[in-house]
Amino acid sequence: MIDEKEGIIMRKFIPLSIPNFEGNEKKYVDDAIDQGWVSTGGAYITKLEQEMAKFLNVENVAACQSGTSALHLSLVEAGVKPGDVVLVPPLTFIAAVNPVKYQFAIPVFIDCDDSFCLDPIKLRSFCEEECEWDGEVLKHNGGTVKALVVVHVFGNMADMESIMDTAKKYNLKVIEDATEALGTHYTEGRYAGKYAGTIGDFGCYSFNGNKIITTGGGGAVTSNNPSTVDHIRFLSTQAKTDPHYYIHDEVGYNYRMTNLQAALGVAQMEELPEFIRRKQKNYEKYKELFDGFEYGALMPFREGTSSNKWFYSINIDRSKITAAMREIIIACHDKGFETRAIWGLINEQKPYEGEETYKLEKAPYYASRILNIPASTQITEDEIQYVAEQVKLLLGSLANG
């Protein structure tokens, strides 16, 4: 629009990643309210689980309160106990690692590769060089290495072939954090056609407000063993053995999704293929606009995969630009669009100071360089053009300054 007083073009602010409700969301939520099923029971929860299972080509999915609760329940089901060791990434959202602490287990941080995901070479070398293997159990500093958490960062698939080879050799449970990667799948290789979250022992999903589909809050979990998912669902509803007489044989959790959330989710699942198509199309437009830019490069996604391309990342050339990331983010905000730095390394956060790390090189390298740019499914081509132009102008001015 045009501000007549100032005679300049005024743009609406372009957010980083916001929900898109252009389908049956209101209709289904109203229906759930009309039925009176608004809490942790109702037909929409079952419907969402069925639609997720169909989309992912798995037998069973349990809807839960959040991606974090999905990860926690997976660790519980994997048998992770106090004192056990869990191998985790340093460059991801802290929720991927906090559930390890919930179990009073010990995280060991393994470096990432250029996909931002767990480095399979360093994973293998850690198991070979830093652990003892007796043919059944892997030990590290006296603790049993029980599991590893693999995060498919920004919708980029980790190198699951190599990771699964190591996990199988050393009897490790693999928990896939696919909270950012719903719809990402392999197109080549051993796992061609397999979706993120369906390759390891457990797969976890998030429906937070900034994800490719949302239920406001909410998540889901699947497993390569359908009966395991049934038990996870049981644990998520306070482990009621006899719901009529309130008999509980295990410690359970209040981790079940509500029917109102699931109603949103059912509508969002109907739109997921279109949302993925838009994400991929918009990424290609950004790729075209940043092609040949000397002060930053748009990060690629793994070959042999089809990514949902949830987030887009600019790798800033720090040999030419020394400005603090906060300065860059504020300058972008002043130009009318939201950007975000990649996360601070988890091993440097207060709750994890002093925890063991292994050959961290790529994680700190990328932590100081990655800028996420607007990626909502509603973003227009004109807005993409504007964001790219302004980012290039800004970085160019900082390099020359």
**Residue-range domain boundaries for the chain:** 2-17+272-400, 25-268
Rounded Cα–Cα distance for residues 178 and 172 (Å):
18
Say what the pLDDT of residue 318 is. 96
Say what the pLDDT of residue 1 is. 40
Say what the pLDDT of residue 10 is. 67
At which residue do the structure tokens 């993409």 appear? Answer: 384
User: CA-CA-CA-CA torsion for 320, 280, 336, 371, nearest 10 degrees?
Assistant: -30
pLDDT, one tens digit per residue, over 91-124 is: 999 999 999 999 999 999 999 999 999 999 999 9
Using the predicted structure, report yes or no on whether residue 7 has a pLDDT greater than 60. Answer: no
Rounded Cα–Cα distance for residues 113 and 382 (Å):
33
| Contact assessment for residue 81 and residue 103, using Cβ atoms and an 8 Å cutoff | yes
Task: Check if CATH label 3.90.1150.10 holds for domain 2-17+272-400.
Answer: yes
- Name the residue among 294, 63, 295, 276 with its Cα closest to residue 180: 276
pLDDT, one tens digit per residue, over 308-362 is: 999 999 999 999 999 999 999 999 999 999 999 999 999 999 999 999 999 999 9
Rounded Cα–Cα distance for residues 357 and 347 (Å):
7
| Higher per-residue confidence, 242 vs 398 | 398
Say what the pLDDT of residue 295 is. 97
| Other beta carbons less than 10 A from residue 50's beta carbon | 14
| Contact assessment for residue 68 and residue 99, using Cβ atoms and an 8 Å cutoff | yes
- Name the residue among 274, 237, 276 with its Cα closest to residue 253: 237
Q: What is the mean pLDDT of residues 375-384?
A: 98
Rounded Cα–Cα distance for residues 123 and 40 (Å):
39
Q: What is the mean pLDDT of residues 294-305?
A: 97
Say what the pLDDT of residue 3 is. 46
Q: What is the mean pLDDT of residues 20-27?
A: 97
Rounded Cα–Cα distance for residues 334 and 8 (Å):
15
Say what the pLDDT of residue 5 is. 45
Start-to-end CA span in the chain (Å): 32
Written as six digits, the tokens of 26 are 């209101």
pLDDT, one tens digit per residue, over 244-256 is: 889 999 999 999 9
Say what the pLDDT of residue 401 is. 55
pLDDT, one tens digit per residue, over 142-168 is: 999 999 999 999 999 999 999 999 999
Match domain 25-268 to its CATH number in 3.30.565.10, 3.30.70.2740, 3.20.20.80, 3.40.640.10: 3.40.640.10
The alpha carbon of 359 is separated from its chain's Cα centroid by a whole number of angstroms, namely: 23
Rounded Cα–Cα distance for residues 109 and 355 (Å):
8
Say what the pLDDT of residue 99 is. 98
pLDDT, one tens digit per residue, over 184-243 is: 999 999 999 999 999 999 999 999 999 999 999 999 999 999 999 999 999 999 999 988
Which pLDDT band, with edges at 50, 70 and 90, does 62 fall under? very high
Mean pLDDT, the chain, whole residue set: 96
- pTM of this prediction? 0.95
Rounded Cα–Cα distance for residues 294 and 179 (Å):
32
> Angle 70-236-153 (CA atoms, 0-180°, nearest 5)?
5
